[in-house]
Amino acid sequence: MMPKLPEDLPECMVFLLGKAYQKAHANFKKQLKPYGLTNMQHLVLEGLWYQEGMTAAELGKLLIMDKATVSGILERMVETGWIVKKPDPDDGRIQRLYPSEKAGQLQERLVGERKKANQQILKKFSIEEQLLFKRLLRDLI
């Protein structure tokens, strides 16, 4: 629960959004730990399952991630065998990204974990609140 806070700080959206995300992130992180995946790595897999063969730039745009951040995450995911990079035959600048076999075998369970995490957040609210909440958040993105 929220402790006592300075002045109108608890009214500050930057603070509220940060702490709400912090909590949601921490819970999902725990769920993913057994798989040896981080939240962002999981997100990358979801992106590639949606459309494999994307480039790092496309993936970053889709998932709203900085190219430098994407670069690091992809490097670790190649190292740990979650994805594969294949050079594009027509464009020497590009590497196309594919989920690995190992990733594919866990796809259902991993997507299930995300849905579970999502449900654990939403279950606190009524259906109307859930829809409104999502709309409000989307309006900020």
Partner DNA sequence: GATTTACAGTTCGTATACAAAGGATATAAA
Partner DNA sequence: TTTATATCCTTTGTATACGAACTGTAAATC
Using CB under 8 A as the criterion, which residues of the chain lie in contact with a copy of itself when the complex forms?
Answer: 1-25, 28, 39, 43, 46-47, 49-51, 61-62, 64, 111, 114-115, 117-118, 121-122, 124-125, 129, 132-134, 136-141
Residue 121, token pair as written in the block: 């957040």
Q: Of the candidates 15, 17, 51, 69, which one interacts with DNA according to CB under 7 A?
A: 69
The answer to whether 99 and 91 are in contact (CB under 8 A) is no
The answer to whether 50 and 57 are in contact (CB under 8 A) is no
Indicate the residue among 30 and 116 with the shorter CB distance to DNA. 30
Q: Which of residues 4-63 bind DNA (CB under 7 A)?
A: 18, 22, 25-26, 38-41, 55-58
Q: Of the candidates 73, 83, 106, 110, which one interacts with DNA according to CB under 7 A?
A: 73
Residue 127 binds which entry of DNA, a copy of itself, none, with Cβ cut-offs from 5 to 8 Å by kind?
none
- Burial profile 10-49: b = 16 or more Cβ within 10 angstroms, e = fewer: eeeeeeeeeeeeeeeeeebeebbeeeebbbbbbbbbebbe
Residue 94 binds which entry of a copy of itself, DNA, none, with Cβ cut-offs from 5 to 8 Å by kind?
DNA
The residue whose two tokens read 């740990």 is 80
3-state secondary structure of 96: strand
Interaction site with DNA (CB under 7 A)? 18, 22, 25-26, 38-41, 55-58, 65-76, 90-95
